Chain A
């Protein structure tokens, strides 16, 4: 059973988003990293990239697949987690600490679920 962290929000494409003041932190859920398998590369966005909810803004690679990461919210990338460039395995080992980017100037959000709803969603997925 995939781990779900309380107090943050999830998308139906398995990204998580955590609001800290007026900044949103984005990452991949435990379910997502399990589905991906061993992540070998994170193609990070660039600072200043404008992202829109529901659209792909970067991707992650496993050995045999490339998967888009879908923006949970709309806004502008203010910070990226450079550490992932050298240690993509962090997405597998500790997905809720391994954030991908921080987004500011938030102008909107997509359809998000809280931990409880996401938990139910995962059960339905099975």
Chain B
């Protein structure tokens, strides 16, 4: 079956099994290895991507369901040669990244969250990341960095439309 969708802003056409998990296409055919395949059960959050602007686990998304959708991976958020997403910049500033395995998923979950919840409280930030597991257990720094990101956005007057990806 042929499936077409937008991948990080570019047209993507695939011919294969429509029940292939999106994460496998990203990693094995598009070499976008920032998206991690860890638990493959939707519990760990390491494979989070944006599908039509919503953060979803790509391990449980068959490519047949992304026909016509826009998919953004961690590589699409910032190429590394350009300014980081504000949340990535805050993670870097707070030295929040430890081994890095969970981080692409953390960034994808939380970048959508800060975009949609510019006034989020600390408990709301924690609730938003319950599906992203960090075995280095550095959660408090991550929460600090998200809170800082929101604080900076508020001070910069970016509240009206939230923080855009």
Q: Do these two chains really belong together in a complex?
A: no
A residues adjacent to B (C-beta < 8 A): none
